[in-house]
Amino acid sequence: MLLLLLLLLLLLLLLLLLLLLLLLLLLLLLLLLLLLLLLLLLLLLLLLLLLLLLLLLLLLVLLPPPPPPPPPPPPRLLLLLLLLLPLLLLLLPLLLLLLLLPLLLLLLLLLLLLLLLLLLLLLLLLLLLLLLLLLLLLLLLQLLLLLLLLLLLLLLLLLLLHHHHHHHHHHHHHHHHHHHHHHHHHSQ
């Protein structure tokens, strides 16, 4: 009985562990999703910034120069370059991010797969444990049955022996020897 209780306790513990693992997995997934969302937001912000900068650039390029003195063209080019530089600087991390995104996703996928594998392994382990427990229980049952059988046999034996002892009165019979003539019929 104690063994059975212990086994049940073990099972419960295992189940709890499994539940905990599942919860952890869910939390991890949520975190990853949040991370992804943040990345996307960042991307959007960067894009917005980029658009704004482009708009500004366009305005600067398209706006006619102030009428009073016609400025020489180099400053304007310089201005354009100066404006393009931060834009490029902004674009670079964006490009990097875009390049890294598939990698990140791949990593995420791998992680998920790993977790799934772990979960499967745990489940398998649980199953194995259950089977083992079942086996143990069966063995115990068999042992009990065997014991019962042995006890029964022992009891039977004792009863028989007891019986025998009671019926053993030694009567001395005087045997009169009668000579029986056996007639053998030979059938041909």
Show the domain range for 46: 2-63+76-161
pLDDT band (50, 70, 90) for residue 184: low
pLDDT in tens, 25-39: 999 999 999 999 999
Domain-located, residue 178: no
pLDDT in tens, 121-180: 999 999 999 999 999 999 999 999 999 999 999 999 999 998 876 666 666 666 666 666
Query: 53: which residues sit within 8 A by CB, 6+ positions away?
Result: 83, 86, 87, 90
Prediction pTM value: 0.34
In this prediction, residues 41-70 reach a mean pLDDT of: 83
For 184, which DSSP code?
-
Structure tokens at 163: 């019986």
Between residues 66 and 141, the one the model is more confident about? 141
Q: How confident is the model at residue 100, as a pLDDT? A: 87
Distances (CA, A) of 19 to 11, 15, 27, 34, 38: 12, 6, 12, 23, 29
Distance CA 125, CA 50 (A): 54
pLDDT band (50, 70, 90) for residue 71: low
pLDDT in tens, 78-108: 788 888 887 888 888 888 888 888 888 899 9
Helices 73-166, 2-62: axis angle to 10 degrees equals: 170
Distance CA 143, CA 156 (A): 20
Domain-located, residue 155: yes
Query: 85: which residues sit within 8 A by CB, 6+ positions away?
Result: none
Q: How confident is the model at residue 137, as a pLDDT? A: 94
Domain-located, residue 47: yes
Domain-located, residue 134: yes
Domain-located, residue 171: no
Let me know: does 126 contact 16? Beta carbons within 8 Å.
no
Let me know: does 80 contact 61? Beta carbons within 8 Å.
yes
Domain-located, residue 177: no
First to last CA, the chain: 76
Helices within the chain (DSSP H only): 2-62, 73-166
Number of structural domains (the chain) is: 1
Domain-located, residue 11: yes
Domain-located, residue 110: yes
Between residues 113 and 66, the one the model is more confident about? 113
